[in-house]
A and B are shown apart, each in its own frame.
Chain A
Amino acid sequence: MTQTTGGFSATDAKIEYSLAGSTWVDISGFANSLKPGALTRASGARWTHEGDGAILTAGKLGTLDIDVSIIYTEGTGDAMAILLTQMQTVGGGPLYLRWSPKGGATGEWQFTTSVGVLKKLDLPSPDAEDAKPCAVSFSIEVATITKAAIT
């Protein structure tokens, strides 16, 4: 079989967030990494007295956790400030994410979440021995992901 020529590194991805799923804010200049968990589906098995193997059935799609690392900055409209507000909103402020691994040009794929629950937001952790830019990470849990090609 011939080797694929379609491989690429995802170092120039486009990552965006939205608070309503309609207006999107590009945080590619803040985001350091985005790590979606695996898509999962529940399954169930029962065994009967006759036969050796299980009767296996498929259930519903599982939820998905997405971990994002961003550069910590202190501007009022910066990602950190927005995330902190959403995290501290009573009942949980809505948050949507979408990302394009190749960068978001025409014909490239884009993954968009359903509304997510912001479940974890790291606070900045100063370290005298760390010379790298201060970064924080957050995690959201979403129900579904939609893949579409960008026009």
Chain B
Amino acid sequence: MPKYEALFLLYDRAGEKYIQPGEVFEVSDPAKEKTLLEKGLIKPASEKVKAHAGETIKAASVDESGPKSKDK
């Protein structure tokens, strides 16, 4: 489903919740998608935003083997 960024405060009546400006959400209904785009209420989410919304950010690899002894 295409992802869009809210440009204004929106209200999802089906889910009874607000969508804040800047929030990325999916629009499943093509007619709804067309209307919201025409009225300038949403814009396609940028790649950068998409990545933040959809990707799991992996923690940097951590060496858990404990402190290394240093030979002097």
Contact = CB atoms under 8 A, between A and B. Distances in A.
Contacts of B53: none
Interface residues of B, number: 17
A149 interface: yes
B16 A24 contact: yes
Interface string A15-43: 00000001110000000000000000000
Contacts of B27: 151
A110 B41 CA distance: 14
Secondary structure of the B contact surface, majority rule: mixed
Best-surrounded residue of B19, B31, B35 (most CB of chain A within 10 A): B35
A104 B8 CA distance: 17
Interface in A134-151: 146-151
18 contacts: A22-B16, A23-B16, A106-B31, A106-B32, A106-B35, A107-B41, A112-B11, A146-B18, A148-B8, A148-B9, A148-B10, A148-B18, A149-B10, A149-B41, A151-B12, A151-B13, A151-B19, A151-B36
